[in-house]
Amino acid sequence: MALMGKLAIRHRPLSVNRRQFVLSTLALGGGLMIGLTPYRESMAATSAKPWEGGEGTEFTAYLSIGPDNIVTVRSTTPDIGNGTFTANPMIISEELPLDWSLVRGEYIPPERDLAEGGKYSTSGYLAYFSGRSTEPEKLHELLQLAASTRERLRQAAAEEWSAAVADVTVEEGRLRHADGRTLTYGEVAEKAATVELAEEPAPKPRADWAVLGKQSRNKLQMPMIMNGSTVYGIDLKLPGMVYAALRQSPVQGGRLKSYDFEAVRGLSGVRGVAVVDPDEPRAGLPEGFRAPFGLTASQNGPQAAIAVIADSYWEAQTALDLMPVEWEAGEGARWTSTQTFYDHLSDRLTNPVDPNIVVAEGDAEAEIGDAADVEAEFLTPYMDHFTMEPLNGTALVEADRLEMWLPTQHTQQALFVGADETGLHPEKVLVNQTWVGTGFGRRVYNDDTRMVVAVAKTMPGVPVKVVWSREESMRQGRYRQVMAGRFTAKLDESGMPKAIKSSIAGAGAGHMGIANSPYRLAVPNWLIQTQNVNSNLLTGPWRGPGWNSNCFMLESFINQCAEKAGIDAIEYRKTLLAEFEDPAWIRLLDLVKEKSGWGTDQGRGIAQGVAIGNWGMGGYSSTAPVGFSGTTVATVVTAEVSRRGDIYIPRVDLAVDLGSLINEDAVRQMLEGGVVMTLGAAMHEEINLNNGRVVEGNLDSYRLARQNDPSLPLEIHVHFEGLSNGERFSEAGEPPMGPPPPALAHAVYKLTGQWLNRMPFGRQNLA
Amino acid sequence: MAVTINVNGQSHEVDADPSMPLLWVLRDKIGLTGTKYGCGINQCGACTVHIDGQAVRSCNTPLARAVGQSVVTIEGLSADSSHPVQRAWTELNVAQCGYCQSGQMMAAAALLAQSPNPTDAQIDQAMDNVCRCGTYLRIRSAVHRAAELA
Ligand code: FES
Ligand code: FES
């Protein structure tokens, strides 16, 4: 059993020489993107274990320079493959030229934020939320920090040389005197931190930027990915660590009835068994403390579970699989099949129960009456995140301390979940962010962290790594919100919609992307109503949550209206958007039209479909269109349908406006990946129910896009010429999840006359 | 039971059940965690290693099968990430989260050893590893690029 003394507990010096710079606000001009300088060196000093702190002089929590000349740039948001660790040093290097081989990424852990009065999370839950690496305020703060640090380094070097500051210039990682002498940043860092400047320098005007939006850089962690040294949560090894394999109630919401540990106690490596009782009261948080996403039963409450603990994961899992366990199914068992639930959803669309009226403009009911010109019923099913790295986490629980190592998407949320589960004061909790093998929203609420701690607290003093098998990960999801929608419309003499009714029912049914659609400006009567209807399955954010359903429904419906009216679907949208203040929508439609060759002869058996949408516009609760916000995506999908009914996608064109870019290739990469993920999901993915249990457990029954999938796009062309290049630096991860599926459905309609209104599309016979 | 296996040119004495999947022997017994667990049922390819030059899915390979053979994992693909596949992957900025990429690169290296200039169809066939980040198009280009670099 582990001895505490042997553990490598994180050495976490609070800063020496920390100073706060007075930040000045910059007036930014509208810089233009010019040609890219490819930057492909793969050397970097970033650690395989990014939670381990390096040494050095700390200028602020975001920047340290070590005597070895390693420059550490810290962030609060996890890098889950989205490039946080790379974007931040790129911003620094705009003002403080860096030797890229000596740059290292690190985190500002949430306990430091707590200890310093929450000053790194003034932006609320977003501060530690993965997915966003760049916020305008953060950008300004880092640019100022870099400029101020540069001037201090120059002055320190000048003093060292007894020279004039004007004779000292900076180059990548070094200071140079006019006479040729050099010093590294590291050699003068300590002195620089004590320099008092008469005045803080102003960062350069945006027009002079040479890095941001001008260069693309590989992720700092790329070299470690290349040789397999990146430590993801599941790879963590601590002295004395034991491994637990977890099983939660197979019917979500059920209870553990009985188990027979004696049957497996003697198996190789087995150490013990742990039971998690959801009914045992949890501690809650002390007065004045709040988890960023709250602590609620459905988001991160404990589930009935049992775990076997052993010397290796394989031994633990083998014993768990052999151990007799019985469960009380509970309420969820009434969902005998997926169809039972779909029927229930459809019934609620027909007979709404107390719907939430989100928008009631004009009188859509009266205008449409019983004579809708266009009518469609849509369904988007439950889907699993299929985090490539199965759920896992490690915790060491002691009498007065909890330390965790987690592949999480929100360390701050993890901290409070850990405090709640152990009853320890939040100030006694430490969180180490490991590398993460995809998140997509699955690791935000930290229900996984809850279960890790619940198991680990049965073995105080011993670090316990808890691993969900793939089957367990898939059957204990927080699934993509299932959603059904019925849309009806009345068209006017010119074929444009004069009234639309959108009725949506599903798990956490929301209005994002519909209530704030700019089409509303052109449709005088629109009724939008939602109903929250779910089975026993737990749901959660799934890349582009809510919107990935709503965008599909609305854009498919608009295509159906355009086809009914016999009007080109791009022209139809341009008419709908004519009054909208943000010209980017029409600009992107024109761009994607031109780039994809829309309207030209595509050849026999090939057709194109279109869709557009905006992720993040005006925030989640906005019920009116807000121009110049969020990320707008327009797409044309080119498709073919074989005689056997297989869908092929020779090409996807995507035009985006997210404002401005920091790291172009990173954005392009994420958009491409999103197109692949959303089209693969639309084609194949669906989680099914059987007496409240999840049917699919692994890739033999849950199909994902693959290299040899006929419907994998052969080419994806991302177009940045429509960027508005303003102050906005919006997201790239979630936006591509919306428009591609409805654009594909549109192309397939043109080829077959059939509308794909229900996902997964692959189930519909097109032959 | 103790057996000896050769991994990346080094001998390791392992005390494990001969039926234990090579994946878990590599990860939890030998401590080589570059080889990943994705599905455990021979479906995703995250656990791909080479046994005598062939791409094998280690989750579905018992330890016993590796005895007397030479096993290569991502950590041993090259000493300094200079294998053409690693160079091409870096050049084309393939990886997103990176979790699937050791398996992808091991599959690509085995493919190129057999077919130095693979066609798209050969790539599609040999590279059916899952990437949830959706990096497939870059993977395909990177395999072609690696073929040029080799
Ligand atoms: S883990 Fe071996 S194929 Fe998926
Ligand atoms: S790069 Fe993330 S799963 Fe492939």
Show which of A183, A203, A227 is a domain's final residue: A227
Q: What is the value of ipTM here, to two decimals?
A: 0.98
Determine the Cα–Cα distance for residues A245 and A317; give it in Å rounded to an integer.
5
Residues A462 and A491 in one domain: no
Q: A574 and A635, same structural domain?
A: yes
Q: What are phi and psi of A608, to 5 degrees?
A: -125, 145
Same domain flag for A246 and A110: no
pLDDT at A675: 98
CA-based nearest distance B2→chain A, Å: 14
Please name the amino acid found at residue A189.
Answer: A
CA angle A556, A562, A567 (to 5 degrees): 150
Give the percent of chain A with pLDDT over 90. Answer: 83
Q: Are residues A18 and A107 in the same domain?
A: yes
Show which of A182, A212, A227 is a domain's final residue: A227
Cis check: omega of the bond before A760, within 30 degrees of 0: yes
Residue A270 belongs to some domain of the structure:
yes
Do A706 and B97 count as a contact with CB atoms less than 8 A apart? no
Residues 6+ apart with CB under 8 A from A274: A244, A306, A307, A309, A454, A455, A458, A459
- Maximum Cα interatomic distance, chain A, rounded to a whole number of Å: 88
Residue with token string 């959303």: A678
Rounded to the nearest 5 percent, the helix, strand and coil shares of chain B are 40, 15, 40
**Neighbouring C-beta atoms of residue A286, cutoff 10 Å:** 10
What pLDDT score was predicted for residue A137?
Answer: 76
CATH code, residues B2-77: 3.10.20.30
Does ligand 2 lie within 6 Å of residue B61's CB atom? no
Number of alpha carbons in the 13 Å side-chain half-sphere of residue A650: 13
Q: What residues in chain A have per-residue pLDDT under 50?
A: 1-44
Determine the Cα–Cα distance for residues A274 and A251; give it in Å rounded to an integer.
19
**H runs (alpha helix) in A65-126:** 84-95, 110-115
Structure-block tokens of residue B44? 């995703």
Let me know if residue A361 belongs to a domain: yes
Nearest by CB to residue A676, choosing from B38, B100, B136, is B136
Are A33 and A129 part of one and the same domain? yes
A491, A359: one domain = yes
Q: Contact, A268 vs A306, CB < 8 A?
A: no
Q: Could you say which residues from 665 to 684 on chain A have a Cβ atom under 8 Å away from some Cβ of chain B? A: 665-666, 669-670, 672-677, 680
Residues of chain B with pLDDT under 50: none
The runs of H, that is alpha helices, within A231-369 are 297-300, 313-322, 338-350, 364-368
Torsion of Cα atoms, A134 then A448 then A110 then A242, to 10°: -130
Closest CA relative to residue A91, chosen from A208, A209, A218: A209
Q: Tell me, yes or no, if A216 comes closer than 8 A to chain B by beta carbon.
A: yes
Q: Which residues of B75-112 are buried (b: 16+ CB within 10 A; e: fewer)?
A: bbbbeebebbbbbbbbbbbbbbbbbbbbbbbbbbbbbb
Q: Which helix (DSSP H) or strand (DSSP E) does residue A447 occupy?
A: helix A447-456
A401, A442: one domain? yes
In this structure, the answer to whether residues A157 and A83 fall within a common structural domain is: yes
What the block records as the tokens of B31 is 């401590």
- Are β-strands A483-491 and A464-467 bridged in parallel, bridged antiparallel, or unpaired? unpaired
Q: Nearest-CA neighbor of A236 among A438, A437, A450? A: A437
pLDDT at A49: 72
CA proximity to A144, closest of A186, A106, A200, A188: A200
pTM: 0.94
CATH of domain B84-149: 1.10.150.120
Interchain CB distance below 8 Å, B96 and A669? yes
Task: Say yes or no: CB of residue B98 within 6 Å of ligand 2.
Answer: yes
Domain range spanning residue A57? 8-227
Looking at the structure of chain A, the number of domains it has is 3
Asked whether A738 and A615 are in contact (CB, 8 A), the reply is: yes
> What is the domain partition of chain B in residue ranges?
2-77, 84-149
Residue B58 and residue A47: Cα distance in Å, rounded?
A: 27
Residue A321: what residue type?
D
pLDDT digits 0-9 by tens, A584-614: 999 999 999 999 999 998 889 999 999 999 9
In-domain check, residue A577: yes
Domain finish residue from A412, A447, A467: A467
**A2 is a domain residue:** no
Q: Is residue A268 part of a domain?
A: yes
- Please answer whether residues A706 and B136 qualify as being in contact, where contact means their C-beta atoms are separated by less than 8 angstroms: yes
The CATH number assigned to the domain holding A31 equals 3.30.365.10
- Could you tell me if residue A423 is inside a domain? yes
| Through-space distance between the first and last CA atoms of chain B, rounded to whole angstroms | 41
Beta bridge partners of A635: A611, A654
**Per-residue model confidence (pLDDT) at position A50:** 67
Out of A222, A436, A699, the one facing B43 most closely (by C-beta) is A699
Residues in chain B: 150
Instruction: Please report the pLDDT score of residue A46 as a whole number.
Output: 58
* CA angle A352–A355–A359, rounded 5-degree value: 125
Ligand 2 atom closest to B94 (CA): 1
CA dihedral in degrees (A622, A627, A629, A634; nearest 10)?
100
- Phi and psi at A270, nearest 5°, equal -70, 130
Start-to-end Cα distance in chain A: 62
Helix (H) or strand (E) holding B5: strand B2-7
Full DSSP string of A184-244: EHHHHHHHHTTPPPSSPPPPPPGGG-SSTTTEEE--TTHHHHHHT---BGGG---TT-EEE
CB contacts, 8 Å: B99 with chain A: 232, 388-389, 437-438
pLDDT value of residue A5: 28
Ligand 1 centre from A643 Cα, in Å?
34
Assess if residue A265 is contained within a domain: yes
Same domain flag for A159 and A299: no
Q: Tell me how many degrees the CA angle A668-A670-A675 measures, rounded to the nearest 5.
A: 95
Are both A150 and A223 inside the same structural domain?
yes
pLDDT at position A713 is: 98
Same domain, A239 and A146: no
A465 within 8 A of A244, measured Cβ to Cβ: yes
User: Is residue A59 situated within a structural domain?
Assistant: yes
The interface residues of chain A toward chain B in range 54-83, judged by CB-CB distance below 8 A, are 80-82
